[in-house]
Amino acid sequence: MTHRERIFAILKGEQPDQVPWYGDLDYWANSLMIRGLKPKDFITSNEYIQWHRELGVGFYLQGYFPYRQIYEKCEVKEWKEGHRRFKEIVTPIGSVRECGEYIPTSFSEGPIEHFMKSEEDIPVMKFIYENMRFEPDYEYAVQRKKQVGDQGVVLCYLPKSPFMHLLALEAGVMSVTMAALTTPDEFMDLINTMKKAFDQAARIAVDSPAEVLMIPENLSSEMVGPELFELYMYDYQKEWTGKIRDAGKYSFIHIDGTLSGLLQQEASVGFSVLEALTPYPVGDVKFEDIAAMAGDSKSIIWGGIPGVYFTNCISDTEFERHVKHVLSIMVKEPRYVLGVADQVPPDGLESRVKRIAELVDEYGKY
C-alpha cells in the first residue's frame, strides 16, 4: 500500500498492511533553507514531496490557513528592527502592538510583546475583531493536491479557538488569566466577538480543497486545564468537528504538550485524530497508557516519537528501543499513526528519519 492508502484506511476504520508513518518536516526544512542547504522555494516545490518519498515518510504538513485576513477601519503598520519584528494595529479608539524576536540559533521566533497586555486592551481588541473579515485563498491547497499524489494527504488549518488564539499568540498566559479572572464578562464578550470572526474563516477552511482539517491549538495541559477547556474551548471545537464531519472530511487537533490534564477532555470532543502526542520520557504519559486515557473515544492516536529522538542528544540504542516499543503497541489495533511529536528539529539527522521507515517495514506489520 502507498502512504496515502494507509492513512485513508486508518481514517476509515480499516486495517492497512502496516502502521502508517507520517512526519512533520517543516521546521527542519526551514532551517535547511536558511542555512543554504536547500533552495529558497524548497518547501513549496515538487522536490519537497520527493524528499519525503526518498526519506520514506508520509506527507501531511506543511498545512496552512486557506484564507486571507482583512482589517477594516484599522491602520496596520509592520516593520523590522534587527532580529525584531513589529506589528501595530491603530484603531479609532486606541492601538495595540506586538513584537517577536527571531533567534538565529533555534531558527525560530519568540514573543517579546503581545497585542493584549491587560484587560484595558479588551475594547481595542474587540474593535479589531468586529471589523475583521476573511476571504478564501485556496491556491496553495490546489497546488499541494497536485504535488502530493500517493505520498500523503492535503491538510489545511482552521483558526485556533479564540481562547487559545489569545493565549498562544495575542495576549499570553498571564494577560489571559488576569482578564478572565478580573473582568470575566468583558473577557467573554471578547471571546464571543472573536468567534463570530473566526467562524467565517473556519467555514472557508472547511470548504477548501483540503482533505483533512486541523484546529492547531498547540495545547499543553499545564497551560489549559479541564476548567478553562470546558468554559472557553469545548463548544468551539465540538461545533467545528461536527461541521468538518458533515463536509465528509476528517478533523485533527494538534495537542503536542503535556497530556495528563487534558487528553481525556479533548478525546471527548470527537476529533478524527489526536495529533502530535508526545509520550514519556519527553512528555508526561507513557505511550502504552495513552489509549486508556483517551477512554471510549474512537479518535486516532497520532505521534509517539519526540523530536529530540531525531538528534544526537539521544543514542542510537535508545532511539531504536523507543521506536520498536511504540510500534509494538501500535500493531495491536489499527487506530495509530506513527508520527513526530511534534517536529523534526533543525539538528535532526536524516539517517534517523530514514531508519524509522526501515523499522516500520520490519516491526510495523499487524
Kindly list the distances between the CA atom of residue 90 and the CA atoms of 105, 112, 118, 346, in Å, as whole numbers in the listed order.
33, 19, 17, 37
At 80 the three-state DSSP class reads strand
Rounded to an integer, what distance in angstroms lies between the CA atom of residue 315 and that of residue 281?
Answer: 14
CB atoms within 10 A of CB 212: 22
- 84's grid cell: 525584531
- For position 159, what pLDDT does the model report? 98
- For position 62, what pLDDT does the model report? 81
Residue 263 in contact with residue 255, Cβ under 8 Å?
Answer: yes
Kindly list the distances between the CA atom of residue 88 and the CA atoms of 77, 169, 170, 270, in Å, as whole numbers in the listed order.
5, 14, 12, 38
Residue 76 in contact with residue 87, Cβ under 8 Å?
Answer: yes
Cα–Cα nearest to 64, from 141, 164, 171: 141
What domains does the chain contain, in order, with CATH numbers? 3-69+133-363 (3.20.20.210)
Kindly list the distances between the CA atom of residue 301 and the CA atoms of 10, 224, 356, in Å, as whole numbers in the listed order.
10, 20, 18
The DSSP secondary structure of 97-137, one letter per residue, reads EEEEEEETTTTEEEEEE-S--SGGGHHHHHHHHHTEEEEE-
- For position 81, what pLDDT does the model report? 98
Rounded to an integer, what distance in angstroms lies between the CA atom of residue 190 and that of residue 326?
Answer: 42
pLDDT in tens, the chain (366 residues): 999 999 999 999 999 999 999 999 999 999 999 999 999 999 999 999 999 999 999 999 888 999 999 999 999 999 999 999 999 999 999 999 999 999 999 999 999 999 999 999 999 999 999 999 999 999 999 999 999 999 999 999 999 999 999 999 999 999 999 999 999 999 999 999 999 999 999 999 999 999 999 999 999 988 898 999 999 999 999 999 999 999 999 999 999 999 998 999 999 999 999 999 999 999 999 999 999 999 889 999 999 999 999 999 999 999 999 999 999 999 999 999 999 999 999 999 999 999 999 999 999 999
Upper half-sphere CA count for residue 84 (Cβ side, 13 Å): 9
- 172's grid cell: 499570553
Rounded to an integer, what distance in angstroms lies between the CA atom of residue 272 and that of residue 290?
Answer: 16
Rounded to an integer, what distance in angstroms lies between the CA atom of residue 25 and that of residue 22?
Answer: 9
